[in-house]
Chains A and B, each alone.
Chain A
Amino acid sequence: MRELAYYEAKFEALDEIMAADQRVHLINGTFLSLSPHRHVFQNLKDKYGERMIAPPISELGFCGLATGAAMAGLRPIVDLSTGSFIYEAWPQVANEAANAFSMSGGQTRVPVVFHLFHGLRGGGAAQHSGSPQAMLWNCPGLEIVIPSSPRDVKGLLKTAVATDNPTIFVDHTRLLDIRGEVPDDGTAIPFGVADIKRPGYDVTVIATSYTVQVALRAAATLAKEGINVEIIDPRTLVPFDLTTILQSVDKTHRVVIADETHQSCGVAAEIAARIVESGFDKLKAPIRRVSTLDVPVPYSPPLEAHIGPSEARIMDAVKGVMG
């Protein structure tokens, strides 16, 4: 199978989506954050510029514009760029878009995609390093997608645009240059299907987004020490595939959850609760969370590195649950 960089797979998806469906409009941003690969966005702009706008710095306004446009039949994809900026648009995302379908008694569909780059990116400090997906998971009515590989970003983006629900597309700048196999058949990946990123049998490590890549590196090191880790990537938080996780826990009986949201009420907290509720009897050790420490993200490189879900912290947690 051919190999692509993550950003290439993502833009191949955007290109195919825009070519196939005139209802798709791109609102704001370049879907690349500060990455140097600007030429891929320029290619899209040359082809589909009449279906793109570069609005003012008005996250609340343009997320509302996109939501309203979705209600009227378009399929807008909004780029909020830095994930923390979605806080500026919170009323439109969490209180209008998320509620509209239910509140209307199932009459008004809102097929909008809010794309953002979450997490620790190197020097982002407290206001440009947010991982809002845990807060958004607490807003029923939003689908949440969180890819970690070139194949997944392409397949999941296709489904995000096809679904009739408001969808948060949680991306990570540190993934953009990751390379991996991508099928060239244009297939969408359905929501709610977790992916086993590395098969194993000693410990189940559930990881999301860029932390999947960190966990893969940790697993390679642990393998040399004789510990065989299974890595599961849920790929979507809403809907959530608990079945695949419980099947893995059946085998390993030990769980570590590694994720970049802050620890309290974070993504790892919710996943841990679900495993305990449905699979407590399978566990031979307490679940360990490797989340971002509960402090505002500091700027200085060693400080930032200290609070994130690093390889070292994942390895410690794996050894911890091995007892």
Chain B
Amino acid sequence: MLPKLARESLLELCRRMFVIRHFEESLVPLHDKGVFGGHYHLYIGQEATGVPAISCLRGDDYLFTTHRNHGHLLARGVEPKKLLAEILGRADGLNKGKGGSFHSVAPSLGFLHSSGVVAGIIPLSTGTAYAAKAQKNGRITVCLFGDGSLEEGAAQEAFNLAALYKLPVLFLCENNGKYGAGRAVAAAQSSTMAAYPLTDLPKVYKIPAQQIDGMDAGLVHATVSEAVNKIRAGEGPQFIEAQTVRYPGSETNWPTVPRQTETALAWDVSSVPEKARDWYRSCDPLLIFIRELVEAKQAVKEEVAAIERQVKSEIAAAVEFAVNSPYPKPEEAERNYFA
């Protein structure tokens, strides 16, 4: 379902989902051509979680994210060209080339630190929440991580601390394992976690927890809004597990793009390679959102296509900017590691 928001807001959510989609679809060929090295992870398939969830926050709230951070940063409004330059290791990147894909940050938007260790941010998120509570500034912290993070002990220690001190933090677990590799059919259960459902883990610490469909933008928006309101009211931490079906391009070690996205795919997936067709037909959260927009008469197809064209040209300009941005000077490696 669509979030209960004005038409302009819905179109803006749609635009941000397109930004994530076209940004990452442009990233894969850059890696394949050797424009950047190192490993990286795609957010595609989770846009209907990150975009509506992050739209529920205040401008001064804190966010922590992991190795799968591109979508979160873009959903919050980071300039695609600065993020892309960072991933390419360039001087104009968000972190001046010191962080890369796993560690991109945007402190002015509340992203202070992105960790490539899957549960590394969970204790850190209790810290910004502790500080906000001490400073009585009303800020909350949203900690965005994957289901794999729950396998690390750091998550459990952090849940205990958050619950003990009633810290203003939302743990938003994005479980992209539904039907994924190593998962039981029709379940979002990892083959390497004995606890099930995952919401049992925070519940042990008396943290209210719920499991939702992360491909349903309206449900995500409603659930996160309610959780954020409770946290701001001083009720302490909340946990949401948003389940998504893994993007077929993220099933292998190195990301691929089975089919470049375009608005028309929302109604006709015959051009998608057969192996990936089911995902585009029934699981792609962006295409679901587009269909809902049109069916609810919030937009006509041509309006959506126009948003997409505008995003595509913005991303093309971002690629142009990033590939032409210079590398940092080598001696910069020896500088600025202390404040």
CA–CA, A62 and B93, complex, Å: 32
* Complex alpha-carbon distance, A91 and B103, angstroms: 16
Contact B112 A25 (CB under 8 A): no
- State whether the Cβ of B97 lies closer than 8 Å to any Cβ in chain A: yes
Q: Is the CB of A64 within 8 A of B107?
A: no
**Interface residue A68 (Cβ < 8 Å from any Cβ of B):** yes
Measured CB to CB, the closest approach of chain B to A109, in angstroms, equals 5
Question: Which of A72, A91, A104 meets B128, CB within 8 Å?
Answer: A72
C-alpha spacing A60/B127, complex, angstroms: 12
B161 within 8 A of partner (CB): yes
Known interface pairs A53-B165, A107-B95; A64-B158 also in contact (CB < 8 Å): yes
Q: Does B186 contact A (CB under 8 A)?
A: no
Residues of A within 8 A of B131 (CB): 68-69, 71-74
Instruction: Say how far A163's CB is from chain B's closest CB, in angstroms.
Output: 8
Interface 0/1 of B153-171, CB less than 8 Å to A: 1100110110011000000
A-B CB contact pairs (8 Å), 20 listed: A25-B134, A56-B160, A58-B161, A60-B157, A61-B126, A61-B158, A64-B122, A67-B127, A68-B123, A68-B130, A72-B128, A74-B134, A91-B154, A95-B117, A102-B98, A103-B98, A104-B98, A107-B95, A109-B339, A141-B338
In the bound complex, CA of A65 to CA of B165 (Å): 11
Please provide the chain B residues from 157 to 199 with a CB less than 8 Å away from any CB of chain A in the complex: 157-158, 160-161, 164-165
The chain A residue sitting closest to B139, CB to CB, is: A72
Task: Count chain A CB atoms within 10 A of each CB in B122, B127, B153 and give the residue with the most.
Answer: B127
Cross-chain contact A64 with B127 (CB below 8 angstroms): yes
Instruction: Give per-residue flags for A62-100: 1 if the beta carbon is below 8 A from chain B beta carbons, else 0.
Output: 111111111111100000000000000001100110001
A67 to chain B, nearest CB (A): 6
Flag whether B65 is at the interface (Cβ < 8 A): no
| Interface contact B99-A105, CB-CB below 8 Å | yes
The answer, among A63, A65, A104, for a CB contact under 8 Å with B103, is: A104
Does B125 reach chain A (CB closer than 8 Å)?
yes
Residues of chain A within 8 A of B123, CB atoms compared: 60-65, 67-68, 92
Asked whether A165 is an interface residue with its Cβ less than 8 Å from the other chain, the reply is yes
**B105 beta carbon closer than 8 Å to chain A:** yes
B98 and A65: CB pair below 8 A? no
How many angstroms from the CA of A109 to the CA of B128 in the assembled complex? 13
Would you call B135 and A96 a contact (CB within 8 A)? no
Q: Is B80 an interface residue (CB 8 A)?
A: no
Chain B contact residues, CB within 8 Å of chain A = 62, 64, 93-99, 103, 105, 107, 112-113, 115, 117, 120, 122-132, 134-135, 153-154, 157-158, 160-161, 164-165, 336-339
Q: With A56-B160, A101-B339, A141-B338 known to touch, is A61 a contact of B154 (CB < 8 Å)? A: yes
Per-position 1/0 for A16-46, Cβ under 8 A of B: 0000000001000000000000000000000
Tell me if A55 is interfacial: C-beta within 8 Å of chain B: yes
Cross-chain contact A143 with B94 (CB below 8 angstroms): no
Please tell me if the beta carbons of B338 and A143 are within 8 angstroms of each other in the complex. yes
On whether the beta carbons of A73 and B135 are closer than 8 Å, the reply is yes
Given the contacts A67-B127, A69-B128, A105-B94, A55 and B161 also touching, CB distance less than 8 Å: yes
List residues of chain B with CB within 8 A of the CB of A51.
134
From A25, which residue of chain B is reached at the shortest CB distance? B134
With A56-B160, A61-B160 in contact, do A108 and B126 touch (Cβ < 8 Å)? no
The answer on a CB contact under 8 Å between A64 and B99 is no
A-side contacts of B112, CB under 8 Å: 71-72, 100, 104, 108
Chain B residues in 8 Å Cβ range of A164: 339
Interface hub of B105, B113, B125, B160 (most chain A Cβ within 10 A): B113
CB-CB under 8 A from A73, the residues of chain B are: 131, 135
B107-A104 in contact (CB<8A): yes
Most chain A CB neighbours (cut-off 10 Å) among B64, B117, B124, B154: B124
